[in-house]
Amino acid sequence: MSEEVFKKVVSHAKEYGFVFPSSEIYEGLGAVYDYGQNGAELKNNLRQYWWKSMVQMHENIVGIDAAIFMHPKVWKASGHIDGFSDPMIDNKDSKKRYRADQLLEDKIERYNKDGKTQKAEELQAAMDQALLDNNLAELKNLIEKHEIACPVSGTRTWTDVRQFNLMFSTEMGAMAGGEADKVYLRPETAQGIFVNFLNVQKTGRMKVPFGIAQTGKAFRNEIIARQFIMRMREFEQMEMQFFVRPGTQKEWYAYWKEARMKWHHKLGFGPEKYRFHDHVKLAHYADAAVDIEFDFPFGFKEMEGIHSRTDFDLRNHGELSGKKLQYFDAELDENGKAYGNYIPYVIETSIGLDRLFLATMCAAYKEEEVGEGDKKDTRVVLALPPALAPIKLAVFPLTKRDGLPEIARNIIDDLKFDFNCFYEEKDAIGKRYRRQDALGTPFCITIDHESLTTNTVTIRYRDTMVQERIGIDQIKALVSEAVSWKNLLA
Ligand code: ATP
């Protein structure tokens, strides 16, 4: 898929009520977006797919919902106050700020496009090394050496590279003021899980290995915010921390890597759309890390991270809080001795809900040639897995008269407890079908005059556009089966 199709997906998202720029009447707010009536449904369904697969499908994983505000010491212990930053560089002429590594990444991409693969490889290696060493001077040196110019001013007058912390802060309390009252908007949901480790383990009587899952908002003051909802300043994460015995983290890391890839494949968009990308530069807390990348229209990019986080977080929180964040393992090892007290190791799976949403929209968006001769036309269809569709069933009376709307309403009144239904009586039937195709609605039902005497309706299938006659009493079973979560979870 090309950049051009990506533009179409973005305008489709707006036109059909999936995603709007935040505060649009005031010209929007950078890298902040709102989900519209259909977007909220799709997002909700994606969240549910994740939640059910983690919590409902695993006896040893439970879910929590921690607050966005946390004690400021949390971010000290987690390393975010000292280390959660990006290397930034400013162009002196345009006054625009860039992430130094992204300027270099763009250059590498350009070298590759121009067939200069050796240059691309050399620059990649030099950049990776500079990032590993946290060598900011070398990053600037590479930008100058490779003659990278500011995309806005076109000049190469750069400031030094500096680290810029990505956390948003605010003040808490009526008398707020100064450093003492500073609180942060969480930049990841994971810490809400770590600080509740003992609460959940004890009250849930959880036994290692076990997991705690959570979905929720996270905030990062991203400098370069582009590609629509790919990189936002306010976004949603779905994270799961899996606590294991020290020494077993490699096996569990392999297990979750495979499990998460399978989960993506289940969506049915094709395995070629996904790939693993191992991290060269490991975050301060990790002993192994891999991304699941998705083939977005602008290239393969990270959608989910799987990190072996060691005991870094629990250990640091234990030290800073003075509370023992340990687990007593009564099971016996091969020598017949209890494992005893230890700080569990952690495998984390972390996916951005908004990126998953974007990937889903891009993969599901299709333009198809339909009809023949002067009836030739293009139809836009969102080929979403039925369980994810915002609307499962649209019900149309052919006309507004003769008792047809009443039959349609009765069908909806019977089915609305089980799934999202939609009623519409305006416009020609063909037009109504097309609008539902564009929203991803898997089934449309039309009530005509025959329905009055035979208790039958026409059902039309989104993907094949096939229409057939079925009894009104068959609708529920047919739709329920098709939209069942079992199709994605089993
Ligand atoms: P990136 O390298 O793209 O900035 P990251 O490695 O910092 O991402 P993590 O900290 O591992 O990301 O966060 C886990 C997941 O959260 C990512 O895989 C991504 O899906 C999502 N995510 C992170 N930052 C953003 C953002 N600014 N907007 C939307 N989603 C995000």
The stretch 127-148 carries a mean pLDDT of 92
Q: Calculate what percentage of the chain has a pLDDT beyond 70.
A: 98
For the four alpha carbons of 307, 311, 233 and 45, in that order, the dihedral sign comes to positive
The stretch 427-439 carries a mean pLDDT of 97
The stretch 77-97 carries a mean pLDDT of 92
Strand partners for 329:
340
Say if CB 253 and CB 209 are below 8 A apart. Answer: no
Answer yes or no: is the C-beta of 479 below 6 A from any ligand 1 atom. Answer: no
pLDDT over 80 (residue 178): no
**Closest-CA residue to 441 (of 466, 464, 410, 462):** 462
For residue 237, the CA-to-ligand 1 centroid distance in Å is 8
For residue 352, the CA-to-ligand 1 centroid distance in Å is 6
Answer yes or no: is the C-beta of 220 below 6 A from any ligand 1 atom. Answer: yes
- What is the 3-state composition of the chain as percent helix, strand, coil, each rounded to the nearest 5? 40, 30, 30
CA distance 420 to 442: 11
* Cβ neighbourhood burial of 168 (10 Å; 0-12, 13-18, 19+): middle
pLDDT band with cut points at 50, 70 and 90 for residue 280: confident
Answer yes or no: is the C-beta of 101 below 6 A from any ligand 1 atom. Answer: no
Q: How many CA atoms lie within 13 A of 379 on its CB side?
A: 23
Say if CB 342 and CB 326 are below 8 A apart. Answer: yes
Answer yes or no: is the C-beta of 350 below 6 A from any ligand 1 atom. Answer: yes
Q: What is the pLDDT of residues 101-124, one digit of tens each?
A: 989 999 999 999 999 999 999 999
- Residues 6 or more apart in contact with residue 90 via CB below 8 angstroms: 96, 97, 98, 158, 159
The stretch 239-265 carries a mean pLDDT of 98
* Cβ neighbourhood burial of 426 (10 Å; 0-12, 13-18, 19+): exposed
For residue 54, the CA-to-ligand 1 centroid distance in Å is 20
> C-alpha distances in angstroms, 382 versus 14, 437, 462?
14, 6, 9
Q: What is the pLDDT of residues 356-376, one digit of tens each?
A: 999 999 999 999 999 888 889
| Lowest mean pLDDT across 166-175, 286-295, 335-344 | 166-175
Answer yes or no: is the C-beta of 105 below 6 A from any ligand 1 atom. Answer: no
The whole-number pLDDT of residue 176 equals 60
pLDDT band with cut points at 50, 70 and 90 for residue 133: confident
| Lowest mean pLDDT across 184-188, 219-223, 256-260, 287-291 | 219-223
CA distance 138 to 131: 9
pLDDT over 90 (residue 226): no
For residue 125, the CA-to-ligand 1 centroid distance in Å is 23
> What's phi and psi for 97, nearest 5 deg?
-110, 140
Closest residue CA from atom 22 of ligand 1: 352
Given ligand 1 and candidates 32, 166, 237, which is best to mutate, with the most ligand atoms within 8 Å of its CB? 237
The whole-number pLDDT of residue 413 equals 98
The whole-number pLDDT of residue 188 equals 97
The whole-number pLDDT of residue 316 equals 97
Q: Counting atoms of ligand 1 from 1, which one is nearest the CA of 220?
A: 27
pLDDT over 80 (residue 431): yes
> C-alpha distances in angstroms, 250 versus 60, 208, 346?
19, 15, 10
Closest residue CA from atom 31 of ligand 1: 352
Closest residue CA from atom 11 of ligand 1: 305
Q: Higher model confidence: residue 132 or residue 335?
A: 335
Say if CB 52 and CB 213 are below 8 A apart. Answer: no
Closest residue CA from atom 18 of ligand 1: 304
Answer yes or no: is the C-beta of 201 below 6 A from any ligand 1 atom. Answer: no
Q: What is the pLDDT of residues 22-79, one digit of tens each?
A: 999 999 999 999 999 999 999 999 999 999 999 999 999 999 999 999 999 999 999 9
DSSP code of 12? H
CA distance 384 to 397: 25
> What's phi and psi for 61, nearest 5 deg?
-125, 130
Q: Calculate what percentage of the chain has a pLDDT beyond 90.
A: 88
Closest residue CA from atom 24 of ligand 1: 231
The whole-number pLDDT of residue 136 equals 94
Answer yes or no: is the C-beta of 349 below 6 A from any ligand 1 atom. Answer: no
Average pLDDT, the chain: 95
The torsion defined by the Cα of 200, 201, 206 and 211, in degrees rounded to 10, comes to 70
> C-alpha distances in angstroms, 126 versus 130, 146, 149?
6, 12, 19
pLDDT over 80 (residue 213): yes
Give the relative orientation of helices 37-51 and 353-364 as an angle to the nearest 10 degrees.
Answer: 110
The stretch 371-391 carries a mean pLDDT of 94
For residue 228, the CA-to-ligand 1 centroid distance in Å is 14
| Lowest mean pLDDT across 160-164, 215-219, 373-377, 479-483 | 373-377
The rounded radius of gyration (Å) of the Cα atoms in the chain is 26
Answer yes or no: is the C-beta of 303 below 6 A from any ligand 1 atom. Answer: yes
Closest residue CA from atom 30 of ligand 1: 352
Answer yes or no: is the C-beta of 234 below 6 A from any ligand 1 atom. Answer: no
The whole-number pLDDT of residue 31 equals 95
